[in-house]
Amino acid sequence: MPEPLMQRMAQRAQLYLQLIRWDRPAGWLLLLWPSLSALWVAAQGFPGWHLLAVFVLGTILMRSAGCCVNDVADRDFDRHVKRTANRPVTSGALPVREALALGAVLALMAFALVLTTNAVAVAWSVAALAITLLYPYAKRFVAMPQAVLGLAFSFGIPMAFAAVQSRVPPLAWLLLLGNAFWVLAYDTEYAMVDRDDDLLLGMKTSAITLGRWDVPVVMLCYALYLAIWLLTLINSALEAIYFVAFGAALAQALWHYRLIRGRTREACFQAFRINHWLGFTVFAGIAAGYALR
């Protein structure tokens, strides 16, 4: 293969990796931990290697596809925000059609994984895709689009129950509700980073809508998330380590208050970036609680 062609292919591959945020795994980890937690709850323990692989790979693929759609939808806004101005689609380094084509391929790969489960999970995956496509445009019309993201980033929960039990019981929806509050908390922290730019652009975010109530509401959302998950699973006969893990998660949430109370860009961004550790702590408590009982 001619060297110039190889170089162009390598450069293209690098742009694709930038587009799907391959160097920023925090995004797909925020999706992964609640999905795996629900998978363990639905199976009452280890769900098996097949479902574990489906949900890990599917999470990475769908988050990557979502990045493609999001960057296309926001390209005219992102060029005015310093943090996002150099994204491949925004900067013009990658054509819109190419980004959408990559997103479609990734979504189809994720759908192929779901097809290895059951018809109920396949049906719910269609709803999950619809919400994923809706979110990027919610920022133009909804005062708190982070609530829409909360639904999109929590849909792995009913899908986990569908994949294990071929149904979605009320328990799944309670866990989804709790997780949506967590998403609202961490994505509001993220929105606090770009609040000044978003105000100039006329974007709608929870950080703008909440104003001076942003920090109290973020902390309330953390409390609701942990309380709903704790109370929902309290009768699941999990070992004491489950409660220890929730105590550690609560301590992390309190640390977030120390980070965001000053509302500085750097601290709010740091708070957002470390949120996946809170989700991991909850998952670890659930997994260990089932393993040790």
What are the backbone dihedrals phi and psi of residue 106, each rounded to the nearest 5 degrees, phi first?
-65, -40
- For 201, the token pair is 């652009």
Alpha carbon distance 46, 62 (integer Å): 23
pLDDT at 55 over 60: yes
Structural domains of the chain, count: 1
Give residue 3's pLDDT. 58
pLDDT in tens, 160-217: 999 999 999 999 999 999 999 999 999 999 999 988 888 887 778 899 999 999 999 9
CATH number at residue 65: 1.10.357.140
pLDDT in tens, 253-275: 999 999 999 999 999 999 999 99
Confidence band for 34, pLDDT divided at 50, 70 and 90: very high
Helix H or strand E segment including 231: helix 214-232
Give residue 148's pLDDT. 86
Q: Structural domain of residue 183, as residue ranges?
A: 3-292
* More confident call, 152 vs 217: 217
3-state SS class at 175: helix
> Which amino acid is residue 187, in one-letter code?
D
Alpha carbon distance 147, 138 (integer Å): 10
